[in-house]
Amino acid sequence: MGYFKYMALDRWACLRRHQRIRFTQPGAFNDPFEMPAFKAAEAEAQRAAGLAGLTAQTAEILGNLSQGHIPSAAFVPPISYFLGTTPTASEAKPLPSEKAIEKIKMIDQIFGILSLSMTPDNLQLWAHYASEHHGVAVEIDPSDLEFNRHTVKDGNFERAGRVKYSTIRPAIPESDEILLEHFFVKSPEWSYEQEYRIVRKFESALETKDEQPYPIHLYALPASAVRKIIFGVRVTAEQRQATIGETKADPAFAHVRFAQADLDPAEFKVDIRNLDPEGLPQSLEHHLEPGARVFGNDSAAAKS
């Protein structure tokens, strides 16, 4: 089964030339909730400190009222004790434990994630990650043997699978154990991505670029793992033909197929239609398997 990586058109050109793809640190993702379980101790400490502050405030108010005084604590909003905005916040606000900080740093230094989607026709993914439909969706086969031919000391720390969506943030035990299952949990708000992730250790990267704040770790994406290039709605005919010509001119990518995303005339969706080697639409009878839908996910993800 193939999965899809949405990207800008020039990024595909770079990927084709170098056959490299980035695995990204969780801390570099646009969602700050990535791997939140490693902050569980910090969150619990802040909750406990807030309760302690609220309890002390109540005691101070009651004690002073019994003596006919209104203390300054009475004018402090109770929620401030949980937000760390009380006058004594510098003293009461909990700091992340050294253990929690080191775990977060360790994850970003050791593990990278390649995020793919299980669908080629998601409107939000096209808009956000494929240059507002000026880019492409590249179909990748993560089971390709060459794609998985890399060196790592401990294969137990490399996983791949679908992301699960949950309203509950996972908690990790207070130990040195790393539960890789937590790489595959996100909020339901992200469920539209239908994400499939591959987690690898950085020690098996082919190339590392020393960038700040996060180094760029590159892995081989061999031509054999690339199945299809789907062009966005706003890719011009000239850009499409140039990309097809450049890809076909590379013998390693001779097997790659092409498709076009078009705006559906009646619904808010894109229709994926296969293209022939010259970049022209194929007849439905020519490119659909028996039982396949004319448009939508199945037509684009039909078996090679």
Q: 116-153: per-residue pLDDT in tens? A: 999 999 999 999 999 999 999 999 999 998 898 876 65
Q: Are residues 81 and 125 in the same domain?
A: no
Q: Are residues 107 and 74 in the same domain?
A: no
Last residue of a domain, one of 99, 114, 139: 99
Is the pLDDT at 65 greater than 90, yes or no? Answer: no
Is the pLDDT at 293 greater than 50, yes or no? Answer: no
Q: Point out which residues pair with 113 in neighbouring strands.
A: 24, 199
pLDDT at site 203 = 87
Average pLDDT, the chain: 80
What value does the mean pLDDT take over residues 244-251?
Answer: 94
Q: Are residues 47 and 165 in the same domain?
A: no
Query: At 67, is the pLDDT very low, low, confident or very high (cuts 50, 70, 90)?
Result: confident
Q: Point out which residues pair with 60 in neighbouring strands.
A: none
Domain count, the chain: 2
Q: Are residues 44 and 93 in the same domain?
A: yes
Last residue of a domain, one of 83, 99, 115: 99
Is the pLDDT at 292 greater than 50, yes or no? Answer: no
Q: What is the domain extent for residue 137?
A: 3-35+102-300
Q: Are residues 150 and 81 in the same domain?
A: no
Q: Are residues 140 and 281 in the same domain?
A: yes
Q: Are residues 61 and 168 in the same domain?
A: no
Buried b (16+ CB within 10 A) or exposed e, 206-238: eeeeeeeeebbbbbbbebebbbbbbbbeebeee
The model's pTM = 0.70
pLDDT at site 169 = 75
Q: Are residues 63 and 167 in the same domain?
A: no
Q: Are residues 147 and 79 in the same domain?
A: no
What percent of the chain has pLDDT above 90? Answer: 47
What value does the mean pLDDT take over residues 194-213?
Answer: 91
Q: Are residues 276 and 153 in the same domain?
A: yes
Last residue of a domain, one of 78, 99, 120: 99
The string of pLDDT tens digits covering residues 9-28 is 999 999 999 999 999 998 88
Q: Are residues 204 and 243 in the same domain?
A: yes
Q: Are residues 79 and 210 in the same domain?
A: no
Task: Give the H or E element holding residue 196.
Answer: strand 195-201
Instruction: Tell me the C-alpha distance between 156 and 174, whole Å.
Output: 21
